[in-house]
A and B are shown apart, each in its own frame.
Chain A
Amino acid sequence: MDVPVIELTGVRKSFGPVDVLKGVNLAAYAGKVTALVGDNGAGKSTLIKGLAGVQPYDEGVVTFEGKPVTLHTPREAAALGIEVVYQDLALCENLDIVQNMFLGREEISNGTLNEGTMEREAAETLRSLSVRTVSSVRQKVSSLSGGQRQTVAIARSVLKKAKVVILDEPTAALGVAQTEQVLALVRRLAESGVAVILISHNLVDVFEVADYVSVLYLGQMVAASVPIAETNNEDVIGYITGTKSYNGGQK
């Protein structure tokens, strides 16, 4: 089996009396798409917020490229090359596309913002994702449609060479054409060697792009890194709803 770029072991998280993650394991592999599925409230977003360092886990071990690491701040995560595209898009509407893509990692020269370089890199990244829906990288995010915002958020995540890109329901708000584009983009990301974690409720999408699927049920990983070829739609629905359990691939 592949060596995981990032591996979580025994992760726990609770909000007051509510245990949201009850000892979860998760792995993501370089060059592979790992789908993370589970019903509403299963804890998917909570799991990845911990990976991003915005909402640290209460307990658990994080191993990155074989070494134990801590993920207490977004900076720590970013330094390791972990990038997240959030379900509730984390964009500033009052800023433009360039400003959002470079937020927190602005290009500086002579102590001041180097707008030209940032504009060029932003435009190049958008072009490399074959984005055709924005006319100017200086458009304010408040003037963009939902699909365009998703595009900006994804472009932001791949702007700096990321090793792990996590997408939380990237296609939920998109039309057919944009969904196809984003999925193609997800594949391209993986092919370039990035470990992709894709959260989705859409199993058609999952079976189209994922290499592995992990299923979270009420804060527990009921099926971890199942190779997509060894499972099917019905089984995965069973794991998600808790009516089936995974037994390590034995029939």
Chain B
Amino acid sequence: MSALSSTPIGTGQEGSVKDQVKAYIANVRNGNMGSLPAIGGFLVLSILFSFLNPYFLTKLNFANLFTQAATLMMLAMALVFVILIAEIDLSAGVTSGVAMAVFVLLVNTMHVNWILGLLAALATGLAIGSFIGYFVARVGVPSFVVTLGLFLGFQGLQLVLLGDGGLYRIETPQILSIMNDNLPIWGGWLMIVVAVIVSLVTSLLDRRRRTIAGVANRHVTLMWIRIAAIAIGGGVVVFILNLDRSVSILPISGVPIVVPIALVLLWAGTFLLDRTRFGRHLYAVGGNPEAARRAGIKVASVRIVAFILCSTLSVVSGVFDASRIGSVDSGAGKAIVLSGVAAAVVGGVSLFGGRGRLVHAAIGAFVIAVIDNGLGLLGLPAGVNFLVTGGVLILAATVDAVSRKRGGTQLSRL
């Protein structure tokens, strides 16, 4: 009794490195696998494809993988905000299409400055997100229905805006650069240095804040391991991307410009979700909306903001897509949305709401991109690609449902 009562209530950060590792493994066993299945899948697929096609492991294809994943990753990250509150936005892809139609109409035909055009496109996404959020959160129409309606309606709107078969070339070099140009060699290294510094500074600030509050900090070794992982992992990637990957005489090297843009957005979104009151409330609404309401959270507002973030970030994925293809047509964004959902779910974001992180969506996007890329190299018909991606989505959703159930049975044993 006295031994028990003198045991202080911990915070989970006490103990040696070994204790922490053990606690992590126990957590994974309880069904909180996070991105582990996705990372495993990525490695298995990469090894498989590298055996099936010698081109897969080339430097050029390695760089391609990043640009291929970027559009999907942005869309999947956008969708995380609504999937976290157990909603869905099937119109995210066509929303980006409509916004980019606005962009090309303003910039190409009305000769508006490209920055204003970009802002108008983002504002279009914001307006669409507010519209969806209003219908879902205030009127109470299921998001599946609202966004399925918009998925169809916006395809019509794109036709109206751009004309049947309408196609506008992107004439803004800055937009084209995102996917087609690379950072200088030193730029890639600078990116890693910045990432390491940001990670180190936030870790140290966190630790200081915890010390002031008088609670335990994780063993400092774990922080250094994490930073070393960023430095070495990032360093290897940048090193490879900085090598000449050209197959012609003109050298091509450097980190694609889209990479730092995507990283900054990933960092900012993660900051919002993990460190702000809004982020906490978003998870609460996803876990138990009634509990959130009773705790005084304005549930409807949180939902509306989630839809706004989703639609606005979708526009960023539209910008990436337009940059890669070099044009915007009346069917832009139509095909990608289910791949975006697949990426998020494959990465470990739960469709039941309340569980998942942005980085999961990013990892999932790489899995889907590697499938796309690998199957493309094998020269299989597009149908196979759809079948495989669809199968992976169902598999991932099954893993999600089963691991959730497992968490449930664990509970009854306690």
Contacts and interface: CB of A to CB of B under 8 A. Distances in A.
A94 B287 contact: yes
Contacts of B145: none
Given A52-B294, A94-B287, A109-B209, A103 B280 contact: yes
Given A94-B286, A115-B210, A120-B214, A108 B10 contact: no
Contacts of A119: 11, 210, 213, 215
Contacts of A78: 296
Nearest to A73: B296
**Which of A86, A91, A103, A109 lies at the interface centre, i.e. has the most chain B CB atoms within 10 A of its CB?**
A103
B8 to A, nearest CB: 7
Contacts of B288: 90-94
Interface string B260-296: 0000000000000001110011011011101111111
A113 interface: yes
B332 to A, nearest CB: 35
B317 to A, nearest CB: 27
B12 A116 contact: no
A113 B9 contact: no
B400 to A, nearest CB: 13
B327 interface: no
A21 to B, nearest CB: 19
A95 B287 contact: yes
Nearest to B286: A94
Contact of B215 (A73, A116, A127, A135): A116
Interface stretch (A140-148, A192-200, A241-249): A140-148
Contacts, number: 131
B303 interface: no
Which of B8, B276, B292, B294: most chain A CB closer than 10 A? B294
A105 interface: yes
B294 to A, nearest CB: 5
Q: Is the interface of B mostly helix, strand, loop or mixed?
A: helix
Given A90-B288, A123-B11, A138-B12, A103 B277 contact: no
B294 A92 contact: no
Nearest to B277: A106
Contacts of B284: 92, 95, 99, 103
B291 A91 contact: yes
A137 to B, nearest CB: 6
Nearest to A103: B295
Interface residues of B, number: 44
Contacts of A113: 275-277, 280
A108 B290 CA distance: 23
B355 interface: yes
B271 to A, nearest CB: 8
Interface string B292-308: 11111100000000000
Contact of A105 (B4, B13, B296): B296
Interface in A75-122: 75, 78, 84, 86, 90-95, 99-100, 103-106, 108-109, 111-117, 119-120
Interface stretch (B51-59, B126-134, B387-395, B406-414): B406-414
A89 to B, nearest CB: 8
A74 B280 contact: no
A130 interface: yes
Given A78-B296, A86-B294, A94-B287, A136 B10 contact: yes
A92 B287 contact: yes
A202 interface: no
A131 B10 CA distance: 12
A183 interface: no
A9 to B, nearest CB: 25
Contacts of B206: 115
A73 to B, nearest CB: 7
B212 interface: yes
Nearest to A127: B9
Contact of B410 (A74, A95, A123, A143): A143
A143 B27 CA distance: 10
A54 B290 CA distance: 10
A151 to B, nearest CB: 11
Contact of A90 (B5, B213, B294): B294
A80 to B, nearest CB: 12
B411 A143 contact: yes
A115 B293 CA distance: 22
A24 interface: no
B291 A120 contact: no
A210 to B, nearest CB: 25
A94 B293 contact: no
Contact of A135 (B10, B30, B280, B295): B10
Contacts of A145: 411, 414
B354 interface: yes
A139 interface: yes
Given A99-B280, A136-B12, A92 B293 contact: no
A134 interface: yes
Given A74-B293, A119-B210, A135-B7, 14 more contacts: A52-B294, A91-B291, A92-B354, A95-B280, A95-B287, A95-B354, A99-B284, A108-B277, A119-B11, A123-B8, A123-B9, A127-B8, A138-B13, A144-B414
Interface of A: 52, 54, 73-75, 78, 84, 86, 90-95, 99-100, 103-106, 108-109, 111-117, 119-120, 123, 126-127, 130-132, 134-139, 142-145
Which 3 A-B pairs have CB atoms at the shortest separation, nearest pair first? A116-B213, A104-B295, A92-B287
10 contacts: A52-B294, A92-B354, A94-B287, A94-B354, A103-B284, A104-B297, A113-B280, A116-B212, A132-B5, A138-B11
